[in-house]
Amino acid sequence: MTFFVGHTGAVRLRRGSLENTDLPISVTASDVNSTLNRLYFNGSEDNLITGDQLFVSTEDSRGLAFFSSSAWPGSEQVQPFLRAYVNVNALGGVRFYDKFVDAVNNNRDNELALSTNFAGTIDATVVVRDSRYNTLGSITSYDINTDRGAIETTSLSDKFRQQHSAGLISGNGSIECLFNYQAIADEEVPLFLLQTIQRLDVGSELSMILSLTASQGETSSFSASENEVFYEVQAVITRAGVTVRSDALVACSIDFLTTGEFKVKIGIPNEYILKEDFDLIETEENQETGLGFLLQEVVD
């Protein structure tokens, strides 16, 4: 008989939710800081977090003219949509990158260039919609609980209490981790969970993989062939706290509730390719290293 100890577990996060919340923005040339290469717009400070992947789109005939055409490799024209990771400063200034690791580490060598060569206002829409999972670092423990509501069906003539067994299922849990705000490669940091609960307009929902037997240890890629046992949940952060003591490391505690369906699964967690119509296509390779193949059938 095989037993597992806690170090085989892992938590992976995918920012945003499958039900996207739009954040409308209006951009003028004065909102673009060409020196810092940052874009400022209403709601960025309250809703965006460094490392978020944004889908920016517009119906303006000029396209996203506040970006340079170099933001679209292989294209000499400005396009009406863009998908990029962001680095957000203390004032809500947004800098755009192609890769998560560049955004969280603010690697200016790989930033996407902005432009002020447009007149008037460009109305656009911003959506936080990530396509990949990142491993959450510095975790000490987590727990997840499944509850099933019992519906009483006792009638006046019954001698014993009767219960309907097919009540609604709900889930909740918590994550304990050591505080850290410095990103290592493409690893998520606990600071992100503390910031997520403070999103005002787009909400504090995210996707999580809670692995009991992580086949690849502390990695965010799911390309290994070995199966693992995991919970796949959509969750909303309901409480985030920090404990600071003089005789211990600074620690974080996060509580969450599941939203919608969640199950215990055995296999390889799927990532997604994002389409323009917001449908999802599954892929088994990390997008950071290039797209793999599409899952055309279920493989047992």
5 vs 80, higher pLDDT: 80
Give all strands of the β-sheet with 53-57 in edge-to-edge order: 22-27, 122-128, 53-57, 81-88, 94-97, 38-39, 32-33
**pLDDT tier at 226, thresholds 50, 70, 90:** low
* Dist. CA 196–CA 235, nearest whole Å: 12
Mean per-residue pLDDT, 146-157:
83
**pLDDT for residue 286 is more than 60:** no
Query: Hey, is 214 helix, strand or coil?
Result: coil
Name the pTM for this structure: 0.73
Q: How far apart are CA 244 and CA 242, in angstroms?
A: 7
Q: How many Cβ atoms from other residues are within 10 Å of residue 110's Cβ?
A: 12
Q: What is the mean pLDDT of the chain?
A: 81
196: buried, middle or exposed (CB in 10 Å: 19+, 13-18, 0-12)?
A: buried
Could you give the CA distance from residue 101 to residue 183 in angstroms, rounded to a whole number? 8
223 pLDDT band, cuts 50/70/90, is: very low
* Contact status, residue 56 vs residue 66, Cβ threshold 8 Å: no
Better-predicted residue by pLDDT, 281 or 228? 228
User: Hey, what are 99's tokens?
Assistant: 């890769």
Does the pLDDT of residue 87 top 50, yes or no?
yes
Give the amino acid at 256: F
DSSP one-letter code for 136: B
pLDDT for 222: 44
Single out the residue of 259, 280, 260 nearest to residue 270, CA to CA: 280
Q: Region 273-277: what's the mean pLDDT?
A: 50
Return d(Cα 78, Cα 6) in angstroms, integer.
Answer: 49
Over the Cα atoms of the chain, what is R_g?
Answer: 22
Alpha-carbon distance of 282 to 292, in angstroms, equals 10
Q: How many CA atoms lie within 13 A of 44 on its CB side?
A: 24
